[in-house]
């Protein structure tokens, strides 16, 4: 169970698969709010994107392995809901579990932040949580709201699309994938059970 009485950063995404770039973002976001907890929220289906290649069960299991010995947590709320995983629905569920706006943040990248006004019910999202926006140094962005927290973090080379392509080609699990997940993927490849042979999502 997630303790929503604490200051909480929710980090949503497909995590298909979880990789070092995701952990890099999570680490820097957490450093911006000392004493907070960061919770990964894997999506059933991210709005406006192709469906994930790996199954919900696979992505959840890999996320849990990646954070098992660390400081992050995983919340499977979106995987338990059918259809598109809208942020507003997840935040409503968090409030139902005890979250309060003053200590709840939704993590978003600069590219997604630029499209925020077009999200489903952006005003309701702002009424439920604050936005924590991660951005590359040297690429300043203007806050859309005075309460938005802009955090500059160093870039990371890991790419979900490139990793999926490598795995789909049957290559050894890349180093950018956390060791426990890399080990599991390596075992699957050896057994001829490659989840990414199903196709490559964007």
What is the set of domains in the chain, with CATH numbers?
8-198 (3.40.50.620)
**Other beta carbons less than 10 A from residue 87's beta carbon:** 27
The whole-model pTM stands at: 0.93
Average pLDDT over residues 93-104: 98
> Which residues, other chains included, contact 183 with Cβ-Cβ below 8 Å and sequence gap of 6+?
173
Average pLDDT over residues 163-181: 84
Cα separation, 118 vs 87, in Å, equals 12
The whole-number pLDDT of residue 35 equals 95
Cα separation, 79 vs 91, in Å, equals 14
Phi/psi of residue 37, each to 5°?
Answer: -115, 145
Under the banding of pLDDT at 50, 70 and 90, the label for residue 186 is: confident
Cα separation, 77 vs 90, in Å, equals 7
The whole-number pLDDT of residue 199 equals 55
Average pLDDT over residues 114-124: 97
Average pLDDT over residues 109-121: 96
The whole-number pLDDT of residue 193 equals 82
């Amino acid at each position: 169970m997630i303790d929503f009485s604490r200051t909480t950063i929710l980090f949503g995404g497909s995590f298909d698969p979880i990789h070092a770039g995701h952990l890099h973002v999570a680490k820097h976001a957490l450093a911006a709010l000392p004493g907070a907890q960061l919770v990964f929220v894997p999506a059933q289906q991210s709005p406006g994107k192709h469906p994930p290649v790996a199954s919900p069960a696979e992505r959840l299991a890999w996320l849990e392995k990646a954070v098992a010995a660390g400081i992050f947590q995983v919340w499977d709320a979106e995987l338990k809901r059918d259809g598109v995983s809208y942020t507003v629905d997840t935040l409503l569920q968090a409030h139902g579990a005890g979250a309060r706006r003053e200590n709840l943040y939704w993590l978003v990248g600069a590219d997604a932040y630029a499209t925020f006004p077009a999200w489903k019910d952006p005003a309701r999202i702002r009424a439920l949580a604050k936005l924590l926006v991660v951005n590359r140094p040297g690429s300043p962005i203007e806050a859309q709201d005075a309460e938005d927290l802009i955090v500059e973090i160093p870039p990371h080379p890991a790419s979900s699309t490139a990793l999926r392509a490598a795995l789909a080609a049957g290559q050894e699990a890349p180093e950018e994938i956390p060791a426990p997940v890399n080990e599991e993927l390596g075992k699957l490849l050896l057994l001829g059970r490659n989840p990414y042979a199903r196709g490559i999502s964007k």
